[in-house]
């Protein structure tokens, strides 16, 4: 699925995929939480003391689909979060908890564990395809260099390297027979 979607954008496995460009391609609007009309004290809490409690969420209103991001987070985490939310939308996941705000905005949250795992896998494969990681390790790029090149967090990079087995594969290739 990730290869197919990347292919629609004309990207090969080692190419960098910008989540904001994918959002635009899929007609998904992306908002900074500061752009929403939220009471000042609530906004202050969301980007201050409460900022580690959330990264982003999907919204649907009047036929439009969007993602709201917590702009207090580093760029790599924002990239991961946006791609994760795009994955939920692309996979047509429905949250198990739905809230309708007085403004009419529909918030979908509390995805099932299975849906969260599906979104994790798709977003990871979109941002860091296995072939890209193999190539990066063959070039002896460090995790930090991979993160910088692909605009992702260290947590995502480490997880993808572990889950794809790329580092284990590279160790076997380099060890004497």
Quote the pLDDT of residue 101. Answer: 57
Instruction: Identify whether the C-beta of residue 99 lies closer than 8 Å to the C-beta of residue 106.
Output: yes
As a whole number, mean pLDDT of residues 136-158 equals: 97
Quote the pLDDT of residue 102. Answer: 61
Average pLDDT, the chain: 88
What are φ and ψ of residue 106, in 5° steps? -95, 120
Judged against a pLDDT cut of 60, whether residue 106 lies above it is answered with: no
CA pair distance 141, 64, nearest whole angstrom = 40
As a whole number, mean pLDDT of residues 112-116 equals: 89
Q: pLDDT grade, residue 141 (50/70/90)?
A: very high
Judged against a pLDDT cut of 80, whether residue 121 lies above it is answered with: yes
Quote the pLDDT of residue 57. Answer: 85
- % of the chain exceeding 90 in pLDDT: 62
As a whole number, mean pLDDT of residues 147-155 equals: 97
As a whole number, mean pLDDT of residues 12-41 equals: 93
In sequence order, which residues have a C-beta less than 8 Å from that of residue 43 and are 6 or more positions away? 33, 34, 36
As a whole number, mean pLDDT of residues 106-131 equals: 87
């Amino acid at each position: 699925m990730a290869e197919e979607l990347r292919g629609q954008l004309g990207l090969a496995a080692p190419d960098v995929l910008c989540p904001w460009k994918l959002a635009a391609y899929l007609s998904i609007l992306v908002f900074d939480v500061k752009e929403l009309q939220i009471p000042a004290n609530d906004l202050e809490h969301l980007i201050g003391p409460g900022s580690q409690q959330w990264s982003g969420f999907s919204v649907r209103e009047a036929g439009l689909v969007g993602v709201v991001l917590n702009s207090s987070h580093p760029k790599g985490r924002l990239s991961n979060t946006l791609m994760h939310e795009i994955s939920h939308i692309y996979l047509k996941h429905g949250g198990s908890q739905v809230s309708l705000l007085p403004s009419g905005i529909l918030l979908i949250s509390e995805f099932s564990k299975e849906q969260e795992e599906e979104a994790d896998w798709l977003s990871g494969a979109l941002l860091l395809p296995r072939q890209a990681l193999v190539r990066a390790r063959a070039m002896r790029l460090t995790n930090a260099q991979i993160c910088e090149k692909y605009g992702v967090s260290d947590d995502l990079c480490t997880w993808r390297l572990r889950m794809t087995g790329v580092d284990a594969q590279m160790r076997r290739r380099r060890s004497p027979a």
